[in-house]
A and B are shown apart, each in its own frame.
Chain A
């Protein structure tokens, strides 16, 4: 298929979307694989692949954010330095992103961590902060053009998806539909973005509620084994839950005095494969 120059594509982007999409798909054929991103994190070989939606779930202080920095570093470091050299879009919903921490991780991982090299790595990172679920939805819509213009932008990180949960619940009043409306729209649009632009989505969700001891577990159909072991009580909308392909549960190891021990239980939902791994966090980031 004849490849039309990118500038022409973008000028006409809004006129004929389906034609644009065909052109872009052709470009994406040559996209690099991310299966070496972090083999330890996935229950099966060859993961992740484009189109995967990976959820990091866990209470506070269990290493989710550190794992994101680890993956981020793996992505944005140049191939010559052992990284994957892909671009990443990081959506921050609660002003949690710590640039200085990321730079420390990069400095520790680059053989000669010069300022110029750090800047080059950071040049592959795009950051956006959203202050409400509505702004998140609108921002995701506006990011579509960015994905079109940057074919090497193939990883989308969302930290966290649960940041607006209580505010949305309160704004929605008595109606569950209204309460979940924004997040449902975000989830649906995220699915569209992931599919159309062949992205890999990592999203964190916080454990905001305790799993009640005598909840109506008997009524829930097909309880997956991981859900009974971990402190997981699904509370986000069905649209989100149904699009997740991998769910990872983070927890702190309970050894007394061991402040660096963390555990992640990684589940491939469709194949029902589970693997449990331990990791620690050093100055250079996550270490398995």
Chain B
């Protein structure tokens, strides 16, 4: 239990998660030790307590200056709340930072409306052996082996720190992050204490999406498939909560040719997309043409 809590705490936003911020002197200008003591005596301990209180009421009960309290509240909000952006500004920023990365497979690019879009999480799902690992080996130069959710979360956090500090790598800027496979790291957590496993899964999804957005990366994850009990169609593993996470989802299936025992033919269909109608399908040959340089491909369990 403590390991999971620690895991959650470790992987929130880079600064201390706001839930944990207790009011203390020096947290912001105007917040003195005396003020803190008076507030604490009246049940106000954290930033949230302070911001949610009726300051006219607090001023009266704690014999503090209303104006001073209001000033502190303004600074705390500026420090801990998210800042709204204007749509026009955001659009300008996205126009310059978004890139569409060709996958190296022309048919797959067609399915994805030109390629992998940065800022998004794309999911490749399929049964074992359908070629997910071969397909997503794009410009992967760094391979990091990780064996469980905590290592994944830690690796993502380190990646975020490196990117924030703009550590330049000798091979050029990082554009794609691949997690192969998300089901392998999450499955061991599900079942048993349900909500904690799901909480970790959602924490992971937040990390992946934040990475994609904040650093304009294309994030690709691979996942297993299960069969839907009512409709009989294939759906991504890891359940309903996970299904909302990726923006794009591609299903890989083997095309069984009766004349070949092990075919390299695959069918890729679009199961979810923010841009294209779902259901479109292309054929891929993971034997040649649609597979990338084998020297770069190393099947791994992690990033």
Contact = CB atoms under 8 A, between A and B. Distances in A.
A binds B: yes
Interface of A: 14-15, 17, 59-61, 76, 89, 94-96, 98-101, 103-104, 118-132, 134-135, 137-139, 141-143, 146, 160, 163-164, 166-167, 169-171, 185, 189, 206-210, 254, 257, 259-260, 281
Interface string B164-202: 000000000000000000000000000000011011111
Given A142-B78, A185-B52, A100 B98 contact: yes
A99 to B, nearest CB: 5
Interface of A is mostly: mixed
Interface centre among B87, B91, B203, B243 (most CB of A within 10 A): B87
Nearest to B85: A127
A123 B86 contact: yes
29 contacts: A15-B66, A60-B240, A60-B243, A96-B244, A100-B117, A103-B91, A119-B88, A121-B87, A122-B88, A123-B88, A125-B87, A126-B86, A127-B90, A132-B12, A134-B48, A135-B81, A135-B82, A141-B52, A163-B202, A166-B195, A166-B198, A166-B241, A167-B8, A169-B195, A169-B198, A171-B19, A185-B52, A254-B231, A281-B277
A185 B98 CA distance: 36
Interface centre among A127, A134, A207, A257 (most CB of B within 10 A): A134
Given A15-B67, A167-B8, A123 B87 contact: yes
A141 B77 contact: yes
A138 B212 contact: no
Given A139-B81, A167-B203, A14 B70 contact: yes
Given A138-B77, A257-B279, A260-B277, A61 B272 contact: yes
Interface in B251-290: 272, 274-275, 277-279
B48 A137 contact: yes
A99 B93 CA distance: 11
Nearest to B249: A61
A99 B19 contact: no
A134 B202 contact: no
B18 A170 contact: no
B86 A142 contact: no
Contacts of A254: 231
A131 B240 contact: no
A165 to B, nearest CB: 8
B274 A101 contact: yes
Contacts of B66: 15
B206 A131 contact: yes
A94 B195 contact: no
Contact of B240 (A146, A167, A210): A210
Contacts of B98: 100
Given A94-B205, A123-B86, A170-B8, 15 more contacts: A15-B67, A17-B56, A59-B240, A98-B247, A98-B274, A99-B94, A100-B94, A101-B274, A124-B87, A128-B83, A131-B13, A134-B18, A135-B81, A137-B51, A259-B279
A159 to B, nearest CB: 11
A176 to B, nearest CB: 11
B80 to A, nearest CB: 5
A132 B18 contact: yes
Contact of B275 (A15, A99, A101, A209): A101
Nearest to A66: B274
A170 B78 CA distance: 28
Contacts of B77: 138, 141-142
B154 interface: no
B292 interface: no
B209 interface: yes
Query: Which 8 residue pairs across A and B have the least CB separation, nearest first?
Result: A125-B87, A170-B199, A122-B87, A95-B209, A142-B81, A166-B198, A138-B81, A128-B84
A123 B90 CA distance: 10
A166 B199 contact: yes
Nearest to A189: B52
B52 to A, nearest CB: 6
B296 interface: no
Contacts of A125: 86-88
Nearest to A181: B48
A288 to B, nearest CB: 18
Contacts of A59: 240, 243
A170 B195 contact: yes
A15 B56 CA distance: 10
A99 B210 contact: no
B247 to A, nearest CB: 7
B210 A119 contact: no
Interface string B199-239: 11111011001101100000000000000000100000000
